Amino acid sequence: MIIFSHQTRGAIAQVLSTISTEAAKTFLYKHLGISEMYSFMLILADAPPDALRAMLNELLIHNKILYAAAPVKHVFNSGIEELERWALHDGWIVEEDALVRVTPAAEEATGIRDRFLQDLSTSDLDSDGAIRNAVENASRNFVA
């Protein structure tokens, strides 16, 4: 099973927020069959992995229509660059116009990290947030 981190899902949401509402609605309908638009994050949190992979493919490789729907092009491009970094973190790269899996082990680590952070947030072990910050900083440093 393919696992995408909450950072990748968040980066997809950020890219969608850079395009027109109508284009974002069409994109979500195309990939998820959702016609009601509420929160990008809530929608993407529940999105199945295969749909997220298809979204990544379109956003990272075939994004000319979405680019045209972005009122501020450099903001859209920055969002795509950020999404590329988080996709790499999850073990995906764009190579020869295809989304390619480079590190299958990353999906296991991503799932473990996300579950760890979720469990940590519901416990009293990290009341000052130091552990969460260290894990998040490690992820950001890897992506950078």
Each residue's pLDDT tens digit, 34-43: 988 889 999 9
Q: Name the residue range of residue 85's domain.
A: 1-144
C-alpha–C-alpha distance, residues 107 and 92, integer Å: 10
pLDDT score at 109:
57
Mean pLDDT, residues 43-58 taken together = 93
pLDDT at 129 over 90: no
Lowest mean pLDDT among 20-29, 36-45, 82-91, 126-135: 126-135
Distance, CA of 54 to CA of 2 (rounded, Å): 12
Task: Report residue 126: phi and psi, to 5°.
Answer: -130, 55
Place of tokens 């995408």: 4
What pTM was computed for the model? 0.71
Closest by Cα among 86, 119, 96, 62 to 3:
86
pLDDT at 110: 60
48-58 mean pLDDT: 93
Looking at residue 144, its pLDDT comes to 58
| Measured distance CA(55)–CA(90) in Å, rounded | 14
Residue 104 pLDDT? 57
Mean pLDDT of the chain: 87
* 73 phi and psi angles, rounded to 5 deg: -60, -40
Domains: count for the chain: 1
The predicted model gives 78-96 an average pLDDT of 92
> 11-20, 40-49, 100-109, 111-120 — which is least confidently predicted?
100-109
